[in-house]
Amino acid sequence: MPRTVDHEQRRTQIADAAVRLAGREGLHAVSMRAVAAEAGISLHLVQYYFGTKAELIHAGLRHLERQSNERWAARLAALPQPVSARAYLEAFFEEALPTDDVSRTFHLVGASYAVLAMTDPDLADLPFVAGLSHLEKHLDDALRRGQADGSLPAGLDPAHQASVLVALNHGIGTTVMIGQRTAEEARTVLQRHLAALFDGGTPHASGHDSPAD
């Protein structure tokens, strides 16, 4: 009797190969043929599951996003319940910082995809921004919970602050990737921003992170 093919498993296998290739050699190295070789399958099979290179790249990004969300969920599950708004945001920043192979690859592929999508209409047509919008909604909800329990000021605009947090996360992650600052220095910047939100502290870190320097 013929073996039943698990199509979702096959798609995941191909997406995972695309991610490994992009993380090792850069997004520009991702092609149907190169991914087929990385996955150890035929070019025809890659083309069967993904009609274009753009679809293949986007599948790889979604694969990374699922992995990151699962790791974030695991961090949250390990915290005292219910998770406070501040702890929720701390877990988000800690997971998003490029400090290991998985998070570094996620940041690298995501940033590379965004840059390519600016000039590649095929990539731009795919719903890349949907993931960012979904993330902002999660942070917006957490900030509103903070307002409800009194840990955040009632006058704070959750939607605006959620967009700031996403932008801060992406920017600070890039500085770690290029070696401008260490992961620990990046954590200091992020913690001081949270202190400004929750404790009324200053968002400016000491040393070279100060605008006066």
pLDDT at 128: 66
50 falls within a domain? no
Mean pLDDT, rounded, for 198-213:
51
pTM for the model: 0.80
pLDDT at 4: 55
48 falls within a domain? no
How far CA 211 is from CA of 114, 188, 205, 206, in Å, comes to 28, 15, 9, 10
25 falls within a domain? no
Please give the residue range of the domain that contains residue 199.
61-209
9 falls within a domain? no
SS3 at position 202: coil
Q: What percent of the chain has pLDDT over 70?
A: 89
Q: What's the CATH number where 184 sits?
A: 1.10.357.10
pLDDT at 6: 84
Sequence-distant (6+) residues with CB within 8 A of 92 are 72, 138, 139, 165, 169
Residue burial 47-66, b: 16+ Cβ < 10 Å; e: rest: eebbeebbebbbbbbbbbbe
- Between 63 and 184, the more confident residue is 184
158 falls within a domain? yes
127 falls within a domain? yes
Amino acid identity at 12: T
- In angstroms, how far is CA 94 from the centroid of its own chain? 11
81 falls within a domain? yes
Number of domains in the chain: 1
Tens-digit pLDDT profile for residues 20-43: 998 888 888 899 999 999 999 999
115 falls within a domain? yes
In the chain, beta strands by DSSP E:
none
- Distance (Å, whole) CA 143 – CA 139: 6
Amino acid identity at 135: L
